[in-house]
Amino acid sequence: MPKSNQENLPAEKSFGFVDYIPAAVKHNAHGWSIEYHAIDPYTGKLKRHAVKLNVLRKRYAHVADFKQHVARICVQINGQLAGGWTPFGESRNARMLMPVRMVADTYIKEKESELRPDTMRSYKSFRNVFTDWVDRECKDLPIGSFGRLLAVRFMDDLFAGGLRGRSFNNRLKQGRAFFSWCVEKCYAKENPFASIKAKREDPKKRIPVPPDARQRITDYLKDRNPGMLTLYQLVFDSLIRPMEAWRLTVGHVHLAEGYIHISEDISKTHYSRIATLTPDLVERLRVMTDGHGPEEYLFGPRYSPGQKHIRYQNFREDWDRVRTELQLPAEMQLYSLRDTGINEMLKSGIDALTVLQHADHHDLSITTRYANHADPHLVETISTKAPRF
């Protein structure tokens, strides 16, 4: 047996402990470890337990910083031992002793290799909010010690800070996703967010854009900004999401075949699909893209193709200006055009499966939900077309 550079701990009687011998750091030829003794519930006797720290040691450039971190871990383990906890019957590993912030940074680095930069914004936002909270409440907490009580406290603090409904639930989903990854990667044994209930969400405040409003938008934009009108028609007729439209290049447009190819790298769902073009849109896009190369963005500055994107924020800001100018309700949002397109396709007799494919939904229940959107002509339709008793 290699000789440790730390003296062996004396027997438990020397400490006055009955159920455990406190945790201490040891270093020998095999590397670093934390060692302590606890009661084995199967034998009723004290049993030595060691946690290897070599992986954790590699994370630190300076041994002094490493020792400082491990000393705090020992304090936490001893607190658990004093409370009657025993490690036997469960396994602990060095990954579970790594600080929450360090693990969260590793999580972000892995996701950055898988997800688009705009998707990563929400992941990084959660990482920052979560790790800042942990630093305030229990700095350098090992990831394996973050349990359900802390998860509940974290979500309670978000709620107390004004987070409600969908925003609260999004943070909850992000917490669940992070700890699902932690469990998969052996940083944690269970997901502390799993049993926290989501909050009730208010319905989205969007209303349909009826034909008369669409005609007013067309009349207003057809000469002022035909490119902007083309965007709105793509959202309504081709059910292309605004963010997807923002990413399109001229090369995605196939006029001869009558479709736009939504490749997986620009699709919200990461699945490629074909977005059908109406004859009117084919002609509009033919004029719009004439003389432009396939690498140019379809919606550059001023809503015409160019080497640079238009600002994505312009989509919403310009829609708001048009809506205000035409005195349309604030609940008519840009995304309302897509909602309305789905709704009217379903009510026009197009089968739900076809609309599902066109809308890029993964579940038929999502598609059919749009059939329940408020319809200002519902009373008239039912009263004139419904069968009589």
CATH code: domain of residue 284: 1.10.443.10
pLDDT value at position 210?
Answer: 93
Task: Using the 3D structure, point to which of 136, 166, 184 is the last residue of a domain.
Answer: 184
User: Are 171 and 270 contained in the same domain?
Assistant: no
Question: Which one, of 66, 114, 86, 70, lies nearest residue 21 by Cα?
Answer: 86
**Cβ–Cβ < 8 Å for 17, 5:** no
Task: Using the 3D structure, point to which of 59, 92, 125 is the last residue of a domain.
Answer: 92
Tell me how crowded residue 95 is: count the other CB atoms within 10 A of its CB.
Answer: 18
Mapped onto helix, strand or coil, the DSSP state of residue 26 is strand
Query: CA–CA separation, 112 vs 275, rounded Å?
Result: 28
Domain contains 40: yes
Domain contains 1: no
pLDDT value at position 224?
Answer: 95
Tell me how crowded residue 130 is: count the other CB atoms within 10 A of its CB.
Answer: 21
User: Are 332 and 372 contained in the same domain?
Assistant: yes
Domain contains 110: yes
Task: Using the 3D structure, point to which of 61, 92, 123 is the last residue of a domain.
Answer: 92
pLDDT value at position 10?
Answer: 38
Instruction: Domain count for the chain, please give it.
Output: 3
User: Are 137 and 216 contained in the same domain?
Assistant: no
Mapped onto helix, strand or coil, the DSSP state of residue 271 is coil
Mapped onto helix, strand or coil, the DSSP state of residue 385 is helix
Question: Which one, of 345, 319, 80, lies nearest residue 214 by Cα?
Answer: 319
Query: CA–CA separation, 148 vs 192, rounded Å?
Result: 4
Instruction: Give backbone dihedrals phi and psi of 246, rounded to 5 degrees, phi first.
Output: -65, -30
**Cβ–Cβ < 8 Å for 25, 32:** yes
Helix or strand (DSSP H, E) at 247: helix 242-247
User: Are 158 and 301 contained in the same domain?
Assistant: no
Beta bridge partners of 322: none
Question: Which one, of 197, 106, 190, 194, lies nearest residue 146 by Cα?
Answer: 190
Tell me how crowded residue 320 is: count the other CB atoms within 10 A of its CB.
Answer: 13
User: Are 245 and 316 contained in the same domain?
Assistant: yes
Domain contains 199: no
Q: Which domain holds residue 137?
A: 100-184
Query: CA–CA separation, 373 vs 135, rounded Å?
Result: 45
Q: What are the helix and strand counts (H, E) for the chain?
A: 16, 6
User: Are 134 and 165 contained in the same domain?
Assistant: yes
Q: What is the pLDDT along the chain (389 residues), one digit of tens a residue?
A: 444 444 443 333 334 456 899 999 999 999 999 999 998 766 778 999 999 999 999 989 999 999 999 999 999 899 888 888 888 765 556 788 889 999 999 999 999 988 888 789 999 999 999 999 999 998 888 898 899 999 999 999 999 999 988 899 999 999 999 999 999 999 999 999 999 999 988 776 788 999 999 999 999 999 999 999 999 999 999 999 999 999 999 999 999 999 999 998 888 888 888 898 999 999 999 999 999 999 999 999 999 999 999 999 999 999 999 999 999 999 999 999 999 998 888 888 888 788 888 877 776 666 656 555 545 554 455 456 556 55
Domain contains 288: yes
Domain contains 175: yes
User: Are 258 and 362 contained in the same domain?
Assistant: yes
The greatest distance separating any two alpha carbons of the chain, rounded to the nearest whole angstrom, comes to 95
pLDDT value at position 4?
Answer: 46
pLDDT value at position 3?
Answer: 44
pLDDT value at position 7?
Answer: 41
Domain contains 135: yes
Query: CA–CA separation, 233 vs 230, rounded Å?
Result: 5
Helix axes 312-325, 334-347, angle to 10 degrees: 80
User: Are 263 and 341 contained in the same domain?
Assistant: yes
User: Are 349 and 370 contained in the same domain?
Assistant: yes
Which residue type does 196 have?
Answer: I
User: Are 232 and 279 contained in the same domain?
Assistant: yes
User: Are 227 and 88 contained in the same domain?
Assistant: no
User: Are 235 and 379 contained in the same domain?
Assistant: yes
Residue with tokens 């190819």: 261
Domain contains 193: no
**Cβ–Cβ < 8 Å for 39, 21:** no
